[in-house]
Structure 1
Amino acid sequence: MNIYLRLTKRFNAGRVRAILAGGQAVIGELARLLIEPDDRILYSRSARDLTALAAEHPNRIASLCDRRPALKAISGGVDSLEAALDSERRMLIHANEARLNLYASASEDWARAWPGIAEQSAGLPLGAAHKKLVSCAENTLPCVVPGGLP
């Protein structure tokens, strides 16, 4: 489960309070609302918040450095931590780009087949067009993309 879904699930535990769209600001705000210090430490994107959490929970920071190496920069001050968080963010962006490239490669057969599929389904009633598209997708697109989301 990706970070957005995990955080939304935790945030909404007990009752639905939000529907998550995505983005760094949303993650930061949700991280502030989490109850467990470990979750706040792992998901916060704010150097100031992480510095405050380190002061409150120094042992937790030390125990989570293996899971989130950027935490090691807390001892170097806010500038050092901000640089580590920027590096972490860029690493996540590059990992996401690589994952999206896997999906793009996996959908190349679909892209080649699409003009014919669109032509065959044009003018069909919605239900029939949907059935046609699903059938073509089942025969063209992979159900699992190795390296993609589980």
Structure 2
Amino acid sequence: MPDLYLQILQILSQDANVPHESIAKQLAVDTAKVKAIIAELEQTKMILGYKAIINKEKVFEDKVFAVIEVRVSPERTGGFDHISKRLYQFPEVRSLYLMSGSYDLLIFIEGKNLKEVAGFVATKLSTIDRILHTATHFVLKTYKEDGIMLDAEAAPERLKVSP
């Protein structure tokens, strides 16, 4: 991938709201070229979408967010892909990752309350063939999301160093 494409992607990954004109100025290229590259990146699915980073604790006070570690017995022909395709179709699933380590899949979900999340795990997730084990962790507080500090007004405390 050409450097210019990577530079545009880097700028957009930091702030997807940057005007095309500003990107063009930063990179010393024509605005039309930036627009064409972004359109190409969208068409080829290298840019999948744009989103705002929201302080969920302030906006969704009544929602619960959880992370679920899942151990799976992979299928002989499809490996982890078949079960992952089934899992990401659930509306509760916000993100799904194949992992290395002591578990295979990592699922980020949201629900209206603890009971709803527990119900998802008990009635939808745990009942799927080839799911061997789950471990659910509830998010108590988010300090940083996608590179953005959510409590930015609080100055970071310096570590005390003693001789």
How would you bin the TM-score normalised by the shorter chain?
under 0.3
Bigger fraction of residues in strand:
2
**Taking structure 1 as the reference length, what is the TM-score of the superposition?**
0.27
Higher relative contact order (CA 8 A, sep 6+): 2
Bigger fraction of residues in helix:
1
